[in-house]
Structure 1
């Protein structure tokens, strides 16, 4: 593994598998960037998380690569960190919107950030949690996962993830 973001496809696929195993829908992706992640609401809304380091070209490419190969998602919600200024490699909102719209079969939305002010939206770090909380669907918190669940998933997945287990 080159970096922690390399786990993103594995984590997304694993959550999708886990939600289905629990009898829940597994067709909503929430792409989270930098420090703006909310595991509690991802679990409560039975969303599938996709972790991005930041809001740069590399993150865009990683998300696009995942969406290109994953079974389609009905809804894709994206929260992009707004770091305060335009810098090299920052992906503009229209490009993010086009990406998630291309791969969502029903709904694609950027949440928690003022798209007109991005990337200078200082309030995005205060808005992302209410945006997650507003996602539809509520489910009980699941019990903790066991290592056996990961083994079961890996045995069924048939995909070569960039990780070693055990």
Structure 2
């Protein structure tokens, strides 16, 4: 009985999760990547899209051509992103764009079959948490960032941080 109840609960949660994302807006980032947002984002600049929901949660996506910035070839870059030291240096670089946030150590993870970094930071002054997945594909980093004020539901955070689709 317990196994059956657990299975039913997992199926219901999966259906709720899928239905929630079905209503999201799918934004094409480039020819290989799209990201789903809770509603249609605005183009912030040539490399970023973003939106704020009705309860104050900010969702953004940015892409950066790391081959141009690092001047590494693709094979070397792919090797480097597997190393914790590179991940730590990468997050230190991100931190310069968010000076009020204190960043935790990056976690090397996989998102949708691609190498990624899981990043968490806290701005104590403004009482906000930053959650970011930075995914790597063909020398480009694609960051999905969610900034959540204290006391606000983070139910869409995990959906958004994994709402990236890759075409190979």
Determine which structure has the larger helix proportion and give its number: 1
TM-score bracket relative to the smaller structure: under 0.3
Q: Compare relative contact order (CA 8 Å, sep 6+) and give the higher one, 1 or 2.
A: 1
Q: Which has the higher strand share?
A: 2
Q: TM-score, normalised by structure 1?
A: 0.24
